[in-house]
Amino acid sequence: MLFSSTLFLLYFLPVFLTIYFIIPAKAKNPFTLFVSIVFFAWGAPKFVFVLAAAVMVDFFIAQFIDKSEGKRRVTFLTIGVVFNVSVLLYFKYFNFFMDNANSLFEIMGMHAVSFTRVALPIGISFFVFHELSYIIDVYRRVKPPMKNIVNYGLYIFLFPQLIAGPIIRFSEIADQINDRKFQDTVDNRILGLFRFAIGLAKKVLIANVLGAEADTIFKLPYEELSSTSAWIGALCYTFQIYFDFSGYSDMAIGIARTMGFIFPENFNHPYISQNITEFWRRWHMSLSRWMRDYLYISLGGNKVSVPRMYLNLCLVFLLSGFWHGAQWTFIFWGAYHGLFLVLDRLFLIKLTERIGKIPRIILTFFITVIGWVFFRSETISQAFQFLRKMGSFSFEELFLTPHLKTVLIAAGSLSFLVPFFNSGKTMAAESVLAVSVGRSAMKIAVILVIMIICVGEISGSSFNPFIYFKF
């Protein structure tokens, strides 16, 4: 179930929130776990059993890790890591590996191996990263394991973050799962719903509009693609992916907040980054932090030789790309970003020091846009063809609808201009201040207006009547 579906907005959300607000504190976690399982089962009913089984296995592995020392402890950690990675490899990458192996067999003149394709369960990448975070944090003694399986199940199943993150490290949320009565306030409920509405607006009013245009352009045959349309397509996708993903994160953070959970931020105006290193500190921050804490540091972090550090960086970003999807385009995109991170450390940041802030932002944005072309394309060759068109500079007149023009300008302004007026002020910061009644009323009015417009937009976008009159 998507947050931006009428079923969620008009049925699931009001029913869930009403019950959640009125039930006693003790019942909140079991109730939320139950609702989260229903939420997940609605989208992937078969996989809910696999997920539940994995949760059980990890729960006990973490207990064993906690009670063990020395080699035994490492053994249990290894079992846990191998188990979770295997789940991910099987469900997400099995088809990819088999397809590529078969292509290789065909090239070598051998027969392809027939296999049954594995269905990709939604949210598998986030689920596995949460499981890994749990057992590694327990292993590192950052946090003790959960004693209560309901609370542990809630960490994994908590529906706001289950499908698309943010990736919350166990250590960040363990205490909140056990006790969050000080955060379960009316202010947080209003601020949470406000944040949810902002995310909904980003997704429905901006990302969906740009996404429709990007889809049309990326589907165009090479001959019909002009330089202008290729640039428009790339820009539309660049803003679409940001507003879509950050909108979804806002919605997740917002719903969690209505429940008293304070999730870490996932985006911080990434398109004003002055280099790719900074971009990764602002883009999908929860993934970057996860990769840093559990992978990069495990590989030795910065405490290794310089060539080894560069190799580790490339490896982390290759895996980060692969994590996004079982396609060569994602791997290429990861490698592309890894390369720029290495170049940043080698000379790029120093080299661009003198050109000024705005040119640096433009340059970084340009590198990012090119990267998104690989991310969006079906194949690497399609991406290169697309880039060739972008680079041909054979501009033609293009008719953009007033709606698309407005949304593109809005997306650009929100990405580049708003951060300068809003520096350092985050939603989290607002929580420490008591929200006045007047501001609360204003926020509630905004929530209502956004909800009304967005639900109309969601339902209306699939409403395309025909004349067919009298027939």
Partner 1 sequence: MGKIWKTILLGLLLAILWTPLLQRVSGIFNEARLKGAYIVPERPEFSVDSFLGGSFQKKYEAYENYSFGFRPFLIKLKNSLDFILYRDIDNTDLMAGKNDVLYSRGSADRTMWGKYYNGREINNNTLAKIKFLKEKVESGGGHLIALMVPSKESVMPEYLPSSYDHAKHENSDYEDFIAGYEREGISYIDLCSYFRKLYPQSKYPLFTKTGFHWSTYGASVAQDTILKYCQSLLTLPIPYYERKGVEFSDTARFADADFEDLMNLYFSIQQSKYVYPKLEIVKSSLSNHRPKVIIIGDSFFWQIKDLRKLVNIFSDDSKYWYYFRKSFPLSDEAGSDMKFLDVVQELESADFVILESSMGTLGEFPFGVTEYFQEHFENDKQMRSINGKREQFNLKAANGKFVCADISKNNIVIADREKAAGWETFSILLLPDNKCAIYTYENKYFSAELGGQGEITASRYKIAGWETFTMIKLDSNHVALRAANGKYLAMDEKSLRLFARADAIGKNEKFEFMQKGSK
Residue 82 touching partner 1 (CB under 8 A): no
Q: Is 424 in the site for partner 1 (CB under 8 A)?
A: no
Please report how close the Cβ of residue 138 comes to partner 1 at its closest, in angstroms.
34
| Of residues 215 and 265, the one with the C-beta less far from partner 1 | 215
**Among the residue ranges 87-95, 277-285, 318-326, 428-436, the one whose residues contact partner 1 (CB under 8 A):** 428-436
**Cβ(144)–Cβ(138) below 8 Å:** yes
Q: Is 163 in the site for partner 1 (CB under 8 A)?
A: no
Q: How far is the CB of 413 from partner 1 (least distance, A)?
A: 16
CA dihedral 375, 292, 153, 185 (to 10 degrees): -90
> Which 89-128 positions form the footprint of partner 1 (CB under 8 A)?
117
d(Cα 145, Cα 152) in Å, to the nearest integer? 8
461 binds partner 1 (CB under 8 A): yes
Nearer to partner 1, 306 or 448 (CB): 448
Residue 78, token pair as written in the block: 């290894």
Nearer to partner 1, 64 or 194 (CB): 194
Nearer to partner 1, 234 or 454 (CB): 454
Amino acid present at 170? F
Which range in 66-74, 84-92, 231-239, 430-438 contacts partner 1 by CB under 8 A?
A: 430-438
CA distance 60 to 65: 9
Nearer to partner 1, 120 or 363 (CB): 120
> CB-wise, 101 or 400, nearer to partner 1?
400
Catalytic residue among 111, 130, 284, 324: 324
426 binds partner 1 (CB under 8 A): no
Q: Are 367 and 271 in contact (CB under 8 A)?
A: no
Is residue 440 within 8 Å of residue 190, measured between CB atoms? Answer: yes
Considering only residues 219, 338, 440, 450, which one is a binding residue for partner 1 as defined by CB under 8 A?
A: 440
Q: Give me the least distance between CB of 463 and partner 1, in Å please.
A: 6
Q: CB of 1 within 8 A of CB of 39?
A: yes
Backbone angles phi, psi at 304, to 5 degrees: -120, 180
46 binds partner 1 (CB under 8 A): yes
| 324 classed as catalytic | yes
Minimum distance of partner 1 from residue 440's CB (angstroms): 5
Token readout for 222 is: 């090479």
Name the one range near partner 1 by CB under 8 A: 2-10, 287-295, 366-374, 415-423: 2-10
Decide whether 4 or 84 has the Cβ nearer to partner 1.
Answer: 4
- The letter for the amino acid at 361 is I
* CA–CA dist 367, 350 (Å, integer): 17
Within residues 173-232, the interface with partner 1 by CB under 8 A covers 186-187, 189-190, 193
User: What letter would DSSP give residue 325?
Assistant: -
**Greatest C-alpha distance within the chain:** 80
Q: Which sign, positive or negative, has the C-alpha torsion 386, 390, 396, 401?
A: positive
Distance, CA of 174 to CA of 141 (rounded, Å) = 13
Instruction: Please identify, among the stretches 134-142, 173-181, 284-292, 431-439, the one whose residues bind partner 1 according to the rule CB under 8 A.
Output: 431-439
Residue from 52, 212, 299, 455 binding partner 1 (CB under 8 A): 455
Closer CB to partner 1, 215 or 457, in the complex: 457
DSSP letter for 346, please: I
24 binds partner 1 (CB under 8 A): no
Taking CB atoms within 8 Å and a gap of at least 24, the contacts of 432-437 are 434/187, 435/187, 435/190, 435/191
307 lies in the site for partner 1, by CB under 8 A: no
CB 361 within 8 A of CB 296: no
- Window 380 to 409, contacts with partner 1 (CB under 8 A): 399, 401-403, 406
Give CA–CA dist 269/400, Å, rounded: 26
13 touching partner 1, by CB under 8 A = yes
Task: Supply the minimum distance, in Å, between the C-beta of residue 194 and partner 1.
Answer: 10
Q: Decide: helix, strand or coil at residue 28.
A: helix
* Residue 470 is a binding residue for partner 1 (CB under 8 A): yes
- 338/311 Cα distance (integer angstroms): 9
Q: At 183, phi and psi to the nearest 5?
A: -95, -15
Kindly list the residues in this chain that would bind partner 1 in the complex (CB under 8 A): 1, 5-7, 10-11, 13-15, 17-18, 21, 42-46, 117, 186-187, 189-190, 193, 399, 401-403, 406, 434-437, 440-441, 444, 447-448, 451-453, 455-471
Active site residues: 324
